[in-house]
Amino acid sequence: MGKGTVNMICDVAEMTALFEKSSNLDDFLQSVVGVVAWHMKAAVCSILIYDEETRILTLRATQGLSPKAVGQVKLRLGEGLTGLALKELRPIREASGAKNPHFLHIKGIKEERYQAFLAVPIRRGLTRVGVLMVEDTQADYFDEKDEQALKAIAAQLATVIENANLLMTLHRHEKAVKPKVKLLPKMIKGRAASGGLATGRATFMFSGRDGMFQAPADVPENLTADDFDRALQMAEQQLKDLQREADEELADVAQLIFSAHLLILADEEFSGEIRRRIKTGTPPAEALAAVVNHYVEIFSASSNSRLQEKVHDLKDLGHRLLENLTGGEREHGDYSGQIIVADTLMPSDVLKLATEKAEGFIVQGGVTSHNAIICRSLQKPMVMVDPQQMELFSESCELLMDGDQGSIYIQPSKEVLKEYVEHRRSAEALEAALPINEQTCTADGVRVQLFANINLLSDLKVALTSRAEGVGLYRSEFPFIIRNAFPSEEEQYQVYIRIAEAMGDREVTFRTLDIGGDKILAYHSEVEEANPFLGLRAIRFSLMHKDIFADQLRALLRAGAGRNTRIMFPLIASLDDFLEARDVLYSCMRELDKRELPYNRDTKIGVMVELPSAVEMIEDLAHEVDFMSIGTNDLIQYMLAVDRTNEMVSKLYLSHHPAILRAIEKVASVARKHRKDVSICGDIAKDPKMIPFLLGVGLTKLSLPPRRIYEIQQAIGHISMEHAVYVARKMLGFSRISEVEAFLEEATQ
């Protein structure tokens, strides 16, 4: 049929280019239907948008049907094949649509001559956004590859469409809030979340009305409407450049992350209102601040949580426009030389601000793993502080933050600055000169394998430089957490294949989606959980939403074709969990066979051992699995009933607790007995004082952050296996925490 390939249609750069060239949402959608129809050689392509309040689908763009139908064709949820696809959130493909009893004939739109029919829902998580539909005169024209292509495009469309729809609710007046005058102490002690040093001035990014956008007092007085128009044009180009750069460097998580910014810029209510205020005599900077605050008010007051999330986007855009307007020191209106001080940040906020060159992050609250992990991968320091400590900062005050120690210096002296700058230079020089060996061995020559934990594609370069022997844990949830909708099979495949290819013939272990607890999807919050750590997370979520699970498994299998890849299921509580998940995997293999797509038929299947029930069932699991990985972070949390993100009980979160030590030894012993590959990941694997114990119980395969490989390699090189076995036996013999701690303290002296 000569139709375009999935890769051609799903090219993110092409979608981004279409977005950039469009002046509004309808123009963008019309461009999309044209491109899709051309690639697929389809006679018709249409997009319908869903209104949650009225439960009505409206045709918003079409190529092939009558242009007069746009805005006039409306369907109820479940009405016709198109409405049914959205209601049931599944693709519908028919050789001849008119022969299906659900087909709805609509007069006057010139649809009667078409036979082949394919519709896929556009969804943001489990929220309905619209439908993407193609038709053709030739019966049975569309195949499974076309279906996969449309699903991938629909996933990309969801973000842009929702951002545009949110902007349509703006009809309130602005209020200005004067900043509080705050005293400046010299030093604040917070909690380390991501290491590194940063200096810069504080830039506030508070949510709600407490974080109103402020124009500085020293703005030049001779600014005009022409200056504002130049600032607007500069911002548009800067954001497009940033998006292209992000697409190249952070392709796994940065898809269209600046779409909300660009849509606000194109919104006439936004830029037009600023111009009107300037023409009536309001200084441009004040007009900008007033209109930004007008939007902040509306977004903050909305009951729509996703609208509330856009507050940071508004302030970020206001910041950029103000920098361009006033001709600030930063040529490109970014966050160079600035440290973000925020009460709360979404993972996507962290990614966007890091892309815009923010130096570091100071955030209110406990250490949430997703934001901390993103900052570590992007090498940006982050420190968490208490709410009352937030009152000690003031906008634009000079800061020095030490992400390793959790220390923040306000208005640091020249001596303190000099000391920290010299320390950073020395650390960078030392790191650049570190001689990492290709193989890791104990002092008496026993081989130990050091694998890398990978969170973002950007970690791959560090893993290769650190000579990791493979990927011991790829946390696949980050493309899910950062994006605004579930990534499609094709989008996931493009991420996973890059990891597999980068590692060559080295082993790569992919962990399936592990969300829940402190890793929440912004677009899947329909149900509030009293205790998310004990709720619908990890494999439980995947087994409840098997369509999403199957998309990921097929992508992982395909990425493994011709490679040494493994798939691992998280939070397995029983043998039943594993067998059910494995059955879904086998079903995906059969589907790929049917689609005649290559995949890794020899994929090893394993489990994360991170629940007390899994430790108790380890013998039974060992009979069925190909490999096991001990996930110590969750194992400690669940065995000791300690929420690792709760500062009030954090001192009880102990990797050296006797129960934890015995659980680790039990799993290692059973794996050895059944000759099953076993590894360990989590913070314990990067803790030098715990390495002798791990080696002593037979764990010689460790997975850790790639930047810690050198340190752990050096520690292992000074330990003999005989000594490690002695340490393990001693530690397993203790029944009191204090005994273990005394032994470890003596051993490290």
Mark whether 723 is an active-site residue.
Answer: no
Give Cβ neighbours of residue 513 (< 8 Å, ≥ 6 apart): 476, 477, 480, 538, 541, 542, 548, 549, 552
Cα separation, 199 vs 410, whole angstroms: 10
Cα separation, 383 vs 363, whole angstroms: 6
Cα separation, 428 vs 416, whole angstroms: 18
Could you tell me how many residues make up the chain?
749
Cα separation, 486 vs 126, whole angstroms: 9
Q: Which of 518, 509, 503, 523 is nearest to 476 (CA)?
A: 509
- Give me the phi and psi of 62, to 5 degrees please: -155, 150
In this structure, are residues 502 and 328 in contact, taking their beta carbons and an 8 Å threshold? no
CA Rg, the chain, in Å? 28
Q: Check 10, 45, 375, 681 and give the catalytic one.
A: 681
DSSP 584-615: HHHHHHHHHHHHT----TT-EEEEEE-SHHHH
- Give me the phi and psi of 440, to 5 degrees please: -110, 130
In this structure, are residues 466 and 707 in contact, taking their beta carbons and an 8 Å threshold? yes
The number of CA neighbours under 13 Å toward the Cβ of 728 is 23
Across the chain, which distance is largest between two alpha carbons, in Å? 86
Give Cβ neighbours of residue 749 (< 8 Å, ≥ 6 apart): none
Q: What is the 3-state secondary structure (H, E, C) of 283-348?
A: CHHHHHHHHHHHHHHHHHHCCCHHHHCCHHHHHHHHHHHHHHHHCCCCCCCCCCCEEEEECCCCHH
The number of CA neighbours under 13 Å toward the Cβ of 378 is 30
Alpha helix ranges (H) inside 41-123: 80-87
* Residues pairing with 384 in the sheet: 191, 363
Q: Check 294, 319, 370, 524 and give the catalytic one.
A: 370
3-state secondary structure of 47: strand
3-state secondary structure of 44: strand
- Pairing label, strands 197-205, 407-410: unpaired
Report the catalytic residues. 370, 681
